Every structure is written in C-alpha cells, then in structure tokens.
Amino acid sequence: MSQSPDVSLVDVDDAVLESLLALAKRDASPDEVAPPLGGAGWNPERTAWFRSYHRAAADGLAGAAGEKTWGVLCGGDLAGSVRLRRVADAGSGTVAETGIWLGRSFRSRGIGTAALRLVLAEARRAGLTRVVARTLADNLGARRLLAGLGAHLTPDDDGTVGAVVEL
C-alpha cells in the first residue's frame, strides 16, 4: 500500500447505526457482521440483533456490556465497524477482544490496518494490557492484518486462529 488512508473512528449513535446497517446489508455478507440467526441472509432476527448489539455497546467498556463499538470512517465515508470487548482475564492484566468488518468496496486498501491501529490506541488509553482476536484459518486478509499489527497467531484444532497483541 503506497499511502495511509484517512481513517478515523466514530461513536455509533442512532444515525451511524442506521448507516452501518445499510452498509452491512448492501456491501457485506450477513455472516461477516452478525451471528447466524433466523436462517440464511438478512432477516428480521439478524437486523434486530444488529441494532440491539450496537445499542448495548453504547455505554462503552465501562458499561454493563463491557463493550464498545465504533463506525470506521474513511475520508468521511462510513466503511465498516470495529469493536472492543472486555473478556475474563486469568492473569494480572486487563484483556479485551477485538473484531472488525468492512464493506467489500473498502477492503484491501489499508483501512482495516489503520482502524485496528486506532482500536489498539483506544485499548492502551483504557489501561488494557492485551488485545485478542479470533478468525477462521482460511481468512488470509484477517490473519495478515493481525500479523501486521504485531499479533502472535496460534492455530487451533477447530479451524480458527487465535491472535494476541501485547500492548
């Protein structure tokens, strides 16, 4: 990639939420952005899950859901979403899990890398010491993205790869 894209994170208020839902429906696969609810494709169950999931995360890492979601803006266009969620921590540090999806038309331009860099900065600011992620072993884009951010990747028997970034 020759130039870093102009990427920023925006809080998910009602207007951003509806724009994100529209982006997800027109430019992503349902399985990339929502659990497999109510059968294939977009359906009322997935749509309801999408809205309640982002609303529950509105109070941020310190809220009841222990989770924060953002919209990813690229040059003013909404490109996708990232999340950070506190997870149970066996050690002394504070750990959160991250995840990301972008609309197809925004992929492979460095936007995912830039967005996750911003999420890692948010995690550091929140006092977290480690960020983890999990992706399918055949998701080469996600694996390269995470490796490029310094993640240690470990394949598991279930066809997934765990990623750990020490902050």
Ligand X SMILES: CC(C)(COP(=O)(O)OP(=O)(O)OC[C@H]1O[C@@H](n2cnc3c(N)ncnc32)[C@H](O)[C@@H]1OP(=O)(O)O)[C@@H](O)C(=O)NCCC(=O)NCCS
Q: Which residues bind ligand X (CB under 6 A)?
A: 32, 80, 99-102, 107-113, 133, 135, 139-142, 144-145, 148
CB of residue 12 to ligand X, shortest distance in Å: 17
Strand partners, 100: 82
CB of residue 163 to ligand X, shortest distance in Å: 8
Q: What is the DSSP string of 51-117?
A: HHHHHHGGGBTTSTT-EEEEEEEETTEEEEEEEEEE---SSSS-EEEEEEEE-GGGTTSSHHHHHHH
Cβ-based nearer residue to ligand X, 29 or 59: 29
CB of residue 92 to ligand X, shortest distance in Å: 26
Cβ-based nearer residue to ligand X, 32 or 45: 32
Cβ-based nearer residue to ligand X, 61 or 80: 80
Phi, psi of 154 (to 5 degrees): -130, 115
Instruction: Please say whether the beta carbons of 21 and 47 come within 8 A.
Output: yes
Cβ-based nearer residue to ligand X, 16 or 111: 111
CB of residue 136 to ligand X, shortest distance in Å: 8
Neighbours of 93 (CB within 10 A): 12
Distance CA 159, CA 11 (A): 33
